[in-house]
Chain A
Amino acid sequence: MAEDLTMSLSPDEYARLLAEDGLASRDAVALRPEEQVRSDRALRRAIAAELVSVEAPTIAETVMRRLGHLPVHVSDSVQGEADIPSFAAAVMAELGTRGPLGPQLQAEVVAEAGELESLWPAIAPAVGGAVGEQPMGSLLKDAVRHEASEDFGGISWLAPGGRWRVVGTAAVGVAFAAAAALLLYMGMGDPAAPSMEATMAPILEAPVDIEAIDAGEVEVLQFGEQAPTIIMIGDEASRP
């Protein structure tokens, strides 16, 4: 093995390194002090054993969920009162598939808000929910009503053929201001439901600056740093 200029080992140190790594010839090892070789190798074994002394968790499922590649639709995740990770993954998956800007938007949401799964505990109190004590679906519905006042009362939730809207609201503080929360609102495809304009009016008329990112079927509305961020997408599964 050739040495390079950055190697600062003496010939003896180099020989010792190769011996303890099992890379030296038998003759070369025989020239080393026996006790040294034995203890050097014992130390290696002890370190290697300690490095794997904890049980490695299985992370593939979580990784795939974080990447938004679980086949769960937004509508399914709410209708089934899915857990928060599944819901967040479904929303992110939808974002990621929406046109050429979808993946970009997905990345932006993560960059702004962090992972939605871990973000939710900070969001829930801001929308009047208690993590772990309230079903996801009802929490979302209550939160949207809270955002949009009593006018939301006539909306038909989870109607067949309806179009899903994912709506976000700001979490506590500026840090989570942009794309902080994802809430679900549906009713656009239901003839009995109020129009989108009417139902969204209480939010859209808020006296704030609106920064809109139009990504085809995905829309993101930012109502200022402390105000709600709204992300709206169509959900393939609930289209007529």
Chain B
Amino acid sequence: MPRAEEHTGDGGPPGLDPDSQMIQAVLNGDPEAYRVLVERYERRIYYVVYGMVRDPEDARDLAQDCFVKAFQNLHRFRLESKFYTWLCRIGMNLAIDHLRKMKHRRHSEFDDMRGGSEGAQVVRLHSKRDDPAENVSSARVYKTIMDAVDTLPDDQRQVLILRELEDMPYKEISEILDIPEGTVMSRLYYARRKLQTLLADHRPN
């Protein structure tokens, strides 16, 4: 069995990009070639998923699920497409499913407790006026930023993460999320403006 490092993606059928060459190798019976693809994209997929679920453990599990699911459906992948775009779509769908389950669970727990206030789901942003000393910490500012990101609707957050994380072109985001490019732009715009409103006291220098 060839070792992962022996796969470079350069020796496959001509006309295919390195990712597609690896995929072709997997489909031809060399599953070890898949390791190259996992190693190539594991960090990027992890950060995309982490941006959505904001829990390191959940993000790790979902990133693994993403690669496993992609492998199981590899025969459906069209070689002329970009593998990472396809992978990202799977990762985003898994993250959204996960968030739905978590929301459902939280609601169930909330119902069970029969306690708390109506505003329990609202993320509270600390204000400079609340605690000026604490707000000089950049870590605190970052947390505040991500708390604000968490308040965005899932569809806006998806666009924002893909754009800010990788500077991904609008077109590629539209392919991943299967929405028009214009929708990508408007979601991105409104997400940022909402963040700026929420972070009015915390805008980084």
Residues of A bordering B, CB below 8 Å: 1, 3-9, 13-14, 16-17, 20-21, 39-40, 42-54, 56-60, 62-64, 66-67, 69, 71, 107
Contact = CB atoms under 8 A, between A and B. Distances in A.
A47 B145 contact: yes
A7 B204 contact: no
Interface residues on B, range: 35 or more
Contacts of B42: 56, 58-60, 63
B160 interface: yes
9 contacts: A17-B189, A42-B204, A47-B164, A54-B56, A56-B43, A56-B46, A64-B34, A69-B32, A69-B34
Judged by DSSP, the binding face of A is helix
A97 B137 CA distance: 55
Given A42-B204, A46-B145, A67 B46 contact: no
B91 interface: no
A106 to B, nearest CB: 10
A40 B193 CA distance: 9
Interface in B143-180: 145-146, 149, 160-161, 163-165, 170, 179-180
Given A4-B180, A7-B186, A69-B32, A53 B203 contact: no
A72 B142 CA distance: 44
A81 B164 CA distance: 47
Given A3-B182, A17-B188, A46-B145, A63 B164 contact: no
B64 A63 contact: yes
